[in-house]
């Protein structure tokens, strides 16, 4: 096992009564994992990025492929499984993370969880219609720094 581990977002607790939207998102995440991991963070593929972070308790280094929206000075990452997943909690505890996006590393600071009302102005085009339909309510916003 290497010093850096790759993992998909896992919720802190599994609920026996997941919504249909959550089940669909989990299935899509599993199906796209084979595609997203090799493409995440690559120069010519701006949809997926890699977040490098360290476990709050374990100190283990992780890299997590995520969907990332970049606006000048800001990254916005949808949290389809909510803010209780481990990787955003690690980023919040550390006060930032390194994001590899479009082949470049970006140091980020001031992470905060924001809701759709706050995130919406940073989301453009088709995603403004898709996000409410799939039920994403939380986002991690990070400032480049």
Q: How high is the pLDDT of residue 12?
A: 41
- What would the two tokens of residue 66 be? 């995520």
pTM: 0.74
Nearest to 136 by CA among 110, 109, 111, 114: 114
Contacts of residue 100, defined as CB under 8 A and 6 or more positions apart, other chains included, come to 40, 41, 49, 50, 52, 106
Percentage above 70 pLDDT, the chain: 68
> Could you tell me if 85 and 140 are in contact, meaning their C-beta atoms sit under 8 angstroms apart?
no
> Could you tell me if 103 and 40 are in contact, meaning their C-beta atoms sit under 8 angstroms apart?
no
Nearest to 130 by CA among 42, 28, 37, 30: 28
Secondary-structure class of domain 41-144 per CATH: mainly beta
- Per-residue pLDDT, averaged over 73-80, amounts to 94
Query: Could you give the CA distance from residue 109 to residue 127 in angstroms, rounded to a whole number?
Result: 25
Domain boundary assignment for the chain: 41-144
Nearest to 98 by CA among 109, 88, 90, 89: 109
Neighbouring C-alpha atoms within 13 Å toward the C-beta of 124: 5
Query: Mind listing the pLDDT tens digit for each residue in 14-53?
Result: 445 556 666 665 565 555 555 555 556 556 555 789 999 9
138 pLDDT more than 50: yes
Q: Which residue has the higher pLDDT, 4 or 90?
A: 90
């Amino acid at each position: 096992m290497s010093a850096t581990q790759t993992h998909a977002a896992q919720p802190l607790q599994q609920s026996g009564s997941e919504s249909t939207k959550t089940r669909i998102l989990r299935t899509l995440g599993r199906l796209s994992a084979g595609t997203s991991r090799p493409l995440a963070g690559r120069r010519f593929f701006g949809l997926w990025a890699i977040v490098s972070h360290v476990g709050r308790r374990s100190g283990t280094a992780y890299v997590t492929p995520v969907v990332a929206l970049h606006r000048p000075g800001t990254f916005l990452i949808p949290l389809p499984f909510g803010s209780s997943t481990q990787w955003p909690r690690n980023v919040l505890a550390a006060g930032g993370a390194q994001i590899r996006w479009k082949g470049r590393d970006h140091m980020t600071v001031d992470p905060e969880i924001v809701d759709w009302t706050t995130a919406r102005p940073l989301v453009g085009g088709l995603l403004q219609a898709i996000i409410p339909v799939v039920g994403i309510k939380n986002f991690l916003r990070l400032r480049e720094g």
